[in-house]
Structures are given as structure tokens and as C-alpha cells.
Structure 1
Amino acid sequence: MVWSASAVWRTAGVCLAMGLGAPSLAQEDLAERRGNEPVVWGPCPESYEGAECATVAMPLDHQHPRGETLPLFVARKLSGVPNAPQLWILDGGPGGSGEGLYLGQAERLAAVLPGVDLYFPAHRGTGNSAGLTCAGEELESPNGSELSPEEWPDCLAEVRARWGHKLAHFNVSQAAMDLGTLIERVRGRNQRVFLYGLSYGTYQAWRYLELFPRQADGVIQDSVVSPGELFVSRTDLEFDPAARGYAALCAQDAGCRARLGADPWARIQAISDRVAQGHCAESGFTRPLLRKSLAGMFMTWRLRVLSLAIPYRLERCAPADVQALRYFLSLYLEPFELYGFSQVLEANIDFSELWESPAPSPATLRQRAGSATFSLDWGVDRADISVQWPKYSSHSATRWPRVKVPLLMMNGTLDPMTSHASALVAARRYRAPNQTFVSFPHVGHSVGFNSPTTLPGAPNCGHLVTASFIQNPHAPPDTSCLAAMSPVPFDDRGAARIYFGAAFTSVWDNPAAP
């Protein structure tokens, strides 16, 4: 069923969820007029090749629609099929703008989902949607393009000077209102609409379902954030359990076991302890740099083998290993393109909605990372600013919506960011007909993009299951691709050449001496 804009505003849940009273008739009339304004599509920035884009004015505060507005950017890649279903893809983070996602995955999605129009909205506060940035993000610091602990206080002062109390409107509820309002303006009559939430995008989708419970025809949740169960403040504790599971797979592979023994996890921990004591210092690795790079490589299906090979090379520490490891660090420490990602929005939402209560102290955050073997050091980098950042109140942060629309939830069993155990909480909660949870064995974060198969064209199994769901959300999704998942790789010639140098043909072995 398609809702009119005025009907959206009359929904009591919108007002209650945002902690405010009912909108006035004048607000309803204005919302109705805005809902009737056509969205004008035109050329896109260079990174959105093959798409058309639009910028739509949204209220800074949806409860005061006649007040200040901000621009909301959206790109779409049309299928060419009349009245095709729409798939709205919600990027992760929080802080993702959808730009990098479009650049890397739009073509692959279009190939798996022919006859589906793809939409990539930029969350308010990211990219071209009033992106929240600080001068420090442009610095070539040891953290690549990330703000360092020393840069965060100046960043906060800069953001406060620009936005003041309005910073509180860069929140999940307002972003969910942006999404529902924009969908209402863009969808055609009787045109089906689906959402695809990725990581933090699943959290935004839960809020959207609370405010717009019947607007979508189905919702796909990839790498599920369970409200009240998963907290970003615990990120530095979550990598080791998943990495330990991956090390157990290494022990079952003859080649990997030959390098790291019958207990690879214990071996990696012992190597990490040796590095902390100065072993192979000529490689450039310290223990903090080691745990952070291991966690970074662990994030993708293909590159996670490097999280095993790097400790192995550190232990051996032959001249060729030192060469390979220094080459790796020269790439790893290079500044990287943010593609519209906003670290400010990430902090603003995380500290207010995805943080434990009572909040962990800076010392606790540092201790969590310091005790880990694999960690992104997220808490270390934000330990001090986490107690200084202005918080906003959210009554929905730990609340689950009532979901009656078809729902597909997917999670990898070795996910270090949204753990399989926490995702299963959602699986137990949503068990109605047409609500399905699919586990992807040995897969890490983002199953849609990290679940390769041996099928022709090597499509990702997560995308195939998604395509099946969109085709018929009222039938069980086709999960037969799980039987065709690619074997977990424990060597990669291409990754070795890229990350260790052109002379290397194995992530483990050194080239023969000339």
C-alpha cells in the first residue's frame, strides 16, 4: 500500500518515537505539498558512473518542517524495466554515504538483480547530504585518513561552531524519516519497494520500520545490528572470537596447518607477544600496529588469509619477509579515500545510540584493545572524545520494531563486527511467516559482498538469496547457493603480489634467491 505524505505525518508512532507531540495541520499541509513536488533527476558526480542523481531538500527537524532544511542526495541506477521494483540500499557505518558502495558494487548488484532499480541514498551528515567533516580528516596521519585522538578535540570544536545544538538532529530517527519521505516521493503507483540494510544500515532499517511499518514490501538485513545487544563501544572485543574461528579452519587445512601448526590461534598469540617484546622490529611492526592490521585484513573473504600469513612472516623474519612486511605497511599506512564517509556522524550516532550504559571509561576502552590480538583499536582512538562528545537522547535505541512485512536476515558465522551470536537474537525475535534468517558458514562481515560461489560468474550467495527474496518475498528464499560456496582459501597469489610485492607468488613463501 502506498501512503500519502499527510498520512505519514498523521502516524502517531512517528511523533512518539521521536519524543514529540503530534504535528499541526499546517505542518501536515506543508508535508503534503512537499510530497507532491517532483524529484528532479540529473547528472551525477564522477564516481556515480551510469547513474542519475538528485538532491532533495529535507527538514533539518521533521517535527518542524517549515524550519531549516538540509540537502539529501540520492543516486539511482535504473534497470530500464517499466515500473520495476525499487531496492533502496542503506550503507553502513554509521557514516557511510553509499558512494564507495556504488563505486564498488553497483555493477555486480545490477547483474544479479536485472529488472530492479537500485537506489543509493546518502545518509544525512554524509557525502553530499550536508556532510559533517573536519579539517583533520584531510591530514596524512599515521591512521591513513582517520582522525587521530589528538585531532578529535579540534574537530568537535569545529562541529560545534558550525551546528551547535542542531548537531542532535543528525540522528537515526531523522534519517529514517528522510528515507520514508523520499521513498514516498519517488515510488510510482503500485511500484514495489524493498530495503537492503548493510551493517549499521540494518539499524537504520529497524528505525525506519518503526516509523513506516507498512511502506516497504520487504526488508533485507545484511549483517544484523540487534538493538540493545550490539554496542560499538565493544568493537575491540569482537574480533578475537571470529578470528579464533578462522584459525580453527586453518588447522583443518593441510597447507595452513603446515605453517602454523595444530593450534594456529595459540601460535598467532605467541607471535604477537614476541612482537610486543621487539621481535622483528626491522619490519616496522609494533603490537598495536599488528593487531590493527590483522583486524583490517580479516574484514574481507579474500584478504583475511593475510591475517594468518603476516604473523607467520613476522615469526620467521627472514630478509625477504622483512621486505614483504615493510612493503605491506607502505600500502596499509597510505591515506585512503573516504568516499563521503563522515567520522563526525559516526561519533555522533555511536556515542548516543550504540554505546553501553553506563558508558565504559577511557581506561576501559584502552584496556579492551590492549588485551586483543585482532582489533581495529576503535575504542583507543576515541577513548577521550567519547566522554566529551555532546549526546542526544534516543528512546528507540534499544527498542525493536513490530515487523509484519516480509523480512530476510543474513549473517556470517565469522562476522567480527556484527557477531553471529548477536544476530541470532533478531532471528529468535522475528519468526513470523515470511521472516527468514539465513546463516552463511565461514563468512565474515557483509555477506552480500563476501560470499563468493563457484557458480558461473562467481556471484555472491548473499546477492542470489536477496534476488530470490525480491522476486517473491512471500515464499521461502532460495538458499541453494550455500551448497556452491567457494572453499575457504588459504593462499592467494594475487593478494601476495599486491600486498607483499611483485616478486611474491604466495602469501606464505618467499621467492627463490636469484
Structure 2
Amino acid sequence: MSARRTGPWWKGIAVAAAVACALPASTPAAAGGRTAPAAVPVLDWGPCPDAPGFSCATAAVPLDHRRPGGRTIELAVIKRPATDPGRRVGSLFFNPGGPGNAAAGTAALPVAYELLPRALRERFDIVSWDPRGVGRSTAVRCFRSAEEFAAWAERVPDGFPVGARERGNWIRAFAELGRLCEQRVPALLRHVSTADTARDLDLLRRAVGDRRLSYLGVSYGTFLGATYAGLFPDRVRAMVLDGNVDPVRWVRMRPALPTELRQGADLGSARTLSRFLALCGRTTADRCAFSAGSPRATRDKFERLLRRLRERPQGEATYAATVGAVVNGLYVVDPGWTELAEDLQDLWEGGTPSLRGATGATGALRAPAPPEGDGEPAYPEVEPAYAVECSESPVPRDPRRYHHFERYARARSGDVGRYWAWLPEPCATWPARAADPYTGPWNRSAVPVLTVNTTHDPATPHRAAVAATRHLGSARLLTVRGHGHTTLLNPSACAARHEVRYFLTGALPPRGAVCRQDTPPFAAPAGK
């Protein structure tokens, strides 16, 4: 699940929002190839201008896979060749999460490459891409200039809305965003669903010459993997899904809650925050700057800080922005939890820290504009995430109900519940639905899928992984006792060994296997 939405890729998890009513299930025949197949893209690899050692290419794919001879769009593709080419197995496709810009593989892969186990880097070409609608691919861009974007963003409350006036501003601003996108990219809006991207992925698999797909997806990338396995069950070679979205709750509005609340993201954040405060309180201030000497005292200190910020913001550190920063700051234990504790202590002492964890759902709206070039806009893109999620994941369509959902989430998960309740609200007024979505079945893969999840994930809780594993039929769940969003970002050597073995041989971990995280929160520095 992703906290919105244009910050660093590792903040991008997968769960957000969407359309009003449950979508009709696609039959396997209708969801797969139903007309003449699209032409396999030709990848003319060349050096990446801003990623030494990586190769880049552009793939042409159909806008509408039901009409393969019609309009085409472009996908930006990136790869790093296997470092031991004599023992090369094939290509391993990597999706870093999202949806939206967090899923832009051309930016993510150079950052994430060294996090992948060395054995995988030796034996596979590691391939990623910017999904349709995103980044350097044919993108959903709804603002004509940075100035137009800035004028819109100025009206959006940071983090989430607090009070009737901010709620009204939030709802009107995101309704306007939907109208702008409908005016400027109407055709693309209906063809950026996860199913469209899964069909692109199958063309990319063929373009690199692999008979079957090897795939690693994290966060929202787990839903993309599940969708691919449903659409193309006989074309899966090996698939690891890390930080899992429940695919059934993504596409079905049962219970009748917004997407994140159905997924339990608010509960995952609340439980992880509770662990953060407890572990911080059990250690000393030199390891956790926010420690008040005990778990209870540290929790009380945190609650007093939030109450104070509600009454008197400190610069840009409002109550809502701070809650959003806390949620995002829980994603990476080392060094993220240490940095989050330092930021909270700075706030406690009256400072105005940069809130390194992020600045909430809309904090990226205040980010400096990226440099213009290579066809990219000079403003932080927020549109692609909504374009994907809002087209396929149903949410209640009355914006006035989200204040009710906020109260409901606050009652069950505390302050972080407010953040997750408002995250999908823009989808309540989103104008477009996917033309050809996939809504199951999910248990069709010809080979078992390996799911992996930490026990205290602030965005994709362990219970969602249990559900996803059940829906995926013969899948096997590997549990990692630890904290943070995904094991890619919070490594476990034990989990990595299981993943490498599975990718190379197809062997699954034993049923009920449990690993531990390598670096616990607030660990002593190496050598001490």
C-alpha cells in the first residue's frame, strides 16, 4: 500500500482507492488473449543516461489490448545484465510497488538493485519498467505546467483534512483533479488498470525471450503479480510477492469501506506504531531520541505531542502532516525508525524538523519541482496513482461519508486511522473506470507462488498476507518476525535464502516457516 504519493519509491506501497461499486468478474477466457495477439515489442537496448551499468529501451504496446492493431503507447524499460552470464537463468522482472510514480522501475531499480540477493543478481538479468501511465512511459499528466499544478496543490490540506473547511477544500480539489484528467487524457484513464499492466508484462516477458515469467513484486506489486498469475497461469515460472495486498478486498467492496480500511492498513500502522513507541521506551535516548524512559511514558509523550500540534502547529509540522510522516517513517526500520525518533524529539523540543519519514498523503505536493527533461513534467506527479487505483478498486462514492470513515478508523486504530481513511477519498469522485479489469479468480497459477510478509508491516499487514496466500491456492507464506514495510527494505538473510532457493529450484520453504529480521529496531551500532 502506498502512502501518497510522489516521494521516494520506497514510500510507495500499494493500497489506495477507487470506484463506486464492485466490478463484474472477468472470465479467464475474456481476461486473457481473445483476439489476434499483439506484436511482441522490439527492445533496442542502449546505455541509460542517468544509471551507469544499466541498459534502457522503449517498448511499444497497445493502448487497448482488446484492439492490438490500434493505437500504441510507450513503456520505458530498464535492465541490469546477470553478473555471471555463463550461469544465467533468464530475466527476473521487478516491480517496486505503487501504484503511480512509486512503481516507476526506471527510477527504482538503480536504487533497489543492491538490495536484491547477490545470487539473483548473478543468475538473472534484473528487469523493470515504468508501468503505463507512469514516469517515462506514456503518462497520465493532467496539468499543463508547474504553475497550474502549484495553484491546485496549494488548496489541498497536507496529510489529511482536519475540520469542516479543510474537508471541503480537500473534496473540491480532488474532484477538480478528476475533471482535469478526464478532459486531458480521457482514453488513457480507462486503460491504466493493473490488468492492462499485467498484459504489458506478458509482452515484455516475450520481448526478453523468456518462455515463462520470473517475478518479484513488492507492496502493490504483489497485486500486479496476483493479477498476472490469474490472467496467464501457465506462464509463471516463479513468483515472490513481498508485502501483500489482499486481491479480493482490492477489487470487492466487502466490507463497504474504502480500500485501505478494507485492507486493514490503519490497523497495521497502529500496531506497528505501538511497537515503535514500546521499543523506543524500553531503550535509552542515545538509541531512540524520543524515549521517555518506559513504553507507557513514551506513548503518553507521543499523544501529548500530537495534541499540542493540533492546537499549535510548528511551521509546516501540522498535526495531520506529522501523522502522515509517522506512518511513512515506520516503513524502514534501519535507519528510518531512528530518524523518525529524532524528528519527533525535535518537534517535542519546539523545533521544525524536515519530517524525513514523509509529510503525509499530500506532502509530496509541497516537494520541490523535479528538473524538466526527458519528457518528464516540472512538477511532482500525483495523477498516476489515482488513475490506477480509482479505475479498479471500488470505494463509496459519496465524499461526505469519509468524515464518518475517519471517525470509524480513529476509533479502531487511533490517529493513524484518519490518514488511511482519507487516502482513497479522491476516488469517490474519479470519473473513469477500467475498460477491461481483472477481478479473479486468483488461484489459477500452475506453479506455487511464494508470499512473504513481516509480522508488523505498517501498510500491508500480516493478516492481508494470510488472506492473499489463501486466495492464491497453492501459495506458501513465509513469515518474517520483524517490523517495517516489506522484507526488501527490512532485510532478513533467512528470507533471502528461501527466496533464492525458490527462484533457482522452485523449492518452497516448509509450511509455517518463520524467519527473523536481520536488524532489530534501535539496535546498537556495529562494533558496539
Query: Structure 1 residue 151: deviation in Å?
Result: 5.2
Shift of 1:232: 3.6
Residues 187/305 of structure 1: CA separation in 2 closer, same or farther (3 Å cut)? same
The verdict on how the C-alpha distance between 1:428 and 1:246 changes in structure 2, with shifts beyond 3 A counting, is farther
> What corresponds to 1:228 in structure 2?
248
Q: How far 1:327 sits from its partner (Å)?
A: 5.4
Structure 1 equivalent of residue 403 of structure 2: 363
What corresponds to 1:270 in structure 2? 304
Residue 344 in 1 paired to residue 383 in 2?
yes
Counterpart CA distance in 2 for 1:382 and 1:369 is 13
Q: Which runs of structure 2 are paired with 1:267-346 in the superposition (5 Å)?
A: 267-278=301-312, 281-282=313-314, 285-301=317-333, 302-315=335-348, 317=349, 322-323=350-351, 325-326=352-353, 328=355, 334-335=367-368, 343-346=382-385
Residues 410 and 418 in structure 2, CA contact (< 8 A), matched pair in contact too: no
- What displacement does 1:74 show? 1.2
What letter matches 2:222 in structure 1? T
Q: Do 1:144 and 1:336's aligned partners in 2 also have CA atoms closer than 8 Å?
A: no
Match of 2:224 in 1: 204
1:60 deviation in Å?
Answer: 0.8
Give me the whole-angstrom Cα distance separating, in 1, the residues matched to 2:179 and 2:324: 28
Determine whether 1:194 maps to 2:214.
Answer: yes
Q: Give the alignment partner of residue 129 of structure 1, picking from 124, 132, 137.
A: 137
Contact 1:260 1:267 in 2 (8 A): no
Percent identity over the alignment is 21
Give the structure 1 partner of residue 111 of structure 2: 104
Q: What are structure 1's unaligned runs of at least 5 residues?
A: 1-11, 454-459, 494-514
**Letter aligned with residue 43 of structure 1:** P
1:14, CA displacement in angstroms? 5.1
Read off the aligned partner of 2:506 and give its amino acid letter. Answer: P
Number of aligned pairs? 452
Q: Is the 8 A contact 1:232 1:350 kept in 2?
A: no
Which residue number in structure 2 is paired with residue 420 of structure 1? 462
Q: In structure 1, what is the Cα distance between the partners aligned to 2:512 and 2:268?
A: 27
Determine the C-alpha separation between the residues in 1 that align with 2:105 and 2:516: 31
Q: Which residue of 433, 438, 441 corresponds with 2:481? A: 441
Equivalent positions of 1:214-253 (< 5 A) are: 214-229=234-249, 232-234=259-261, 235=265, 238-253=268-283
Query: Residues 267 and 484 (structure 1 numbering): CA distance in 2 closer, same or farther, change over 3 Å?
Result: closer
Q: CA deviation at 1:196?
A: 0.6
Q: CA deviation at 1:49?
A: 2.4
Mapped partners of 2:96, 2:440: distance in 1: 20
Match of 1:40 among 37, 44, 58: 44
Mapped partners of 1:394, 1:111: distance in 2: 38
Query: Aligned equivalents of 2:358 and 2:139: distance in 1?
Result: 27
Q: Rg bigger for which structure?
A: 1
Residue type at the aligned position of 2:307: D
Match among 5, 16, 21 for residue 30 of structure 2: 16
Q: Write the distance in 2 (CA, Å) between the matches of 1:448 and 1:462.
A: 10
Q: Is the 8 A contact 1:203 1:227 kept in 2?
A: yes
Distance 1:251 1:196, change over 3 A: same
Kept in 2, the 8 Å contact 1:275–1:286? The answer is yes
Give 1:389's aligned amino acid: P
> Structure 2 vs 1, CA of residues 65 and 41 (structure 1 numbering), >3 Å: closer, same or farther?
same
The CA deviation string for residues 152-186 of structure 1, in whole angstroms up to 9 with x for no partner, is 44543332233324421111111111111221232
Aligned partners of 2:123, 2:408: CA distance in 1, in Å?
A: 47
Q: CA deviation at 1:309?
A: 4.4
Deviation at 1:399? 4.3
SS of residue matched to 1:221 = strand
C-alpha separation in 2, matches of 1:342 and 1:288: 21
Deviation string 1:249-298 (CA, Å, 9 cap, x unpaired) is: 334435559625232334422331233233xx556532112212212222
1:396 and 2:403 are equivalent in the alignment: no
Task: Kindly report which structure 2 residues correspond to 1:373-384, keeping only aligned pairs within 5 A, or say none.
Answer: 373-374=415-416, 377=419, 379-380=421-422, 383=425
**CA drift at 1:67:** 0.9
Q: Which amino acid aligns with 2:31?
A: A
CA-based RMSD: 3.9
The 1:293/1:67 distance shift into structure 2, 3 A limit, reads: same
| Residue in structure 1 matched with residue 253 of structure 2 by the alignment | none
Distance in 1, matches of 2:215 and 2:356, equals 38
- Which of these residues, 443, 460, 466, is aligned with residue 499 of structure 2? 466
Change (3 A) 1:267 1:112: farther
Is 2:193 the partner of 1:171?
Answer: yes
Cα contact 2:454–2:462 (8 A) shared by 1: yes
User: CA 1:233 to 1:485, structure 2 compared with 1: closer, same or farther past 3 Å?
Assistant: closer
Cα deviation, 1:205-240, whole Å, max 9, x if unaligned, reads: 111111110212110001111112356442556422
C-alpha displacement of 1:336: 6.9
In structure 2, runs of 5+ residues without a counterpart are: 1-25, 161-168, 251-257, 360-365
2:206 to 176, 179, 184: 184
Change (3 A) 1:381 1:194: closer
Distance 1:337 1:214 in 2: 41
Q: Is the 8 A contact 1:198 1:446 kept in 2?
A: yes
For the 8 Å contact 2:132–2:197, the answer to whether it is kept is yes
CA contact (8 A) 1:298 1:304 kept: yes
Q: 1:483 and 1:442 mapped to 2: Cα distance? A: 6
Q: Is the 8 A contact 1:74 1:120 kept in 2?
A: yes
Change (3 A) 1:419 1:185: same
Deviation at 1:402, TM superposition (A): 1.8
- Larger displacement relative to structure 2 (242-251 or 208-217): 242-251
CA contact (8 A) 1:194 1:218 kept: yes
| Structure 1 contact 89–119 (Cα < 8 Å) conserved | yes
1:79 to 2:95 alignment = no
* 1:49 and 2:52 matched: yes
SS at match of 2:46: coil
Deviation at 1:101, TM superposition (A): 1.5
Deviations 1:316-341 (A, max 9, x none): x2xxxx34x34558996643759998
**1:93 equivalenced with 2:91 (yes/no):** no
C-alpha distance in structure 2 between counterparts of 1:129 and 1:104, whole Å = 19
3-state SS of 2:60 partner: strand
What is the CA–CA distance in structure 1 between the aligned matches of 2:208 and 2:157, rounded to whole Å? 38
Alignment of 1:485 with 2:507, yes or no, is no
Bigger RCO (CA 8 Å, 6+ sep): 2
Shift of 1:479: 11
Q: Could you say what secondary structure the match of 2:477 adopts?
A: strand
Q: Is the 8 A contact 1:448 1:462 kept in 2?
A: no
The answer (yes or no) to whether the contact 2:54–2:78 under 8 Å persists in 1 is yes
